[in-house]
Amino acid sequence: MAEWVIAGAVVAHAGRVLLVRRSVPERELVWQFPAGKVDAGESPERAAVREALEEAGVTVVPAAVIGARVHPVTGRRVVYVACRWVSGSPWAASPREVAAAEWVPVDELAVRIPGGVYGPVQEYLAGPALY
């Protein structure tokens, strides 16, 4: 059986980042970027766009793949995709998976994601992406 690949949508806008709070935490992983399985025949970029809409109710367009890693908590391969916000206000669009969705100031990421943000994503968020 092929290993799942997860696409994570890194959506930065006006000094904040889009996060969702999982309905069912996976160990210490409670808050995360909108993310989900890349379907057969789907690119990580397309999956990230779909997940941002399905989980947080926002429309985004992919900008670039930031990087990939095996997630230290889930053990799944995650491809992080930088996305530009187009429209919509975050809300828990998929209550089975998501309890909340909101714009979070970058300086709160360390509190929301205790294990830390993946280095290349952190570098991306430190750049002009937020403004």
pLDDT, one tens digit per residue, over 74-126 is 899 999 999 999 999 999 999 999 999 999 999 899 899 978 899 999 999 99
> 55 φ, ψ to 5°?
-90, -35
- pLDDT at residue 3 greater than cutoff 80: no
- pLDDT at residue 1 greater than cutoff 50: no
Residue for token pair 């999956």? 47
12-42 pLDDT per residue, tens: 999 899 999 999 988 888 999 999 999 999 9
CB atoms near residue 68 (< 10 Å): 18
Question: Considering the domain 5-120, what is its CATH architecture?
Answer: Alpha-Beta Complex (3.90)
Q: Say if CB 104 and CB 112 are below 8 A apart.
A: yes
- pLDDT at residue 131 greater than cutoff 70: no
34-72 pLDDT per residue, tens: 999 999 999 999 999 999 999 999 999 999 999 999 999
pLDDT number for residue 63: 96
- Residue 67 region, left (φ>0) first, then alpha (ψ -120 to 50), else beta? left
Say whether 41 sits in a helix, a strand or coil.
coil
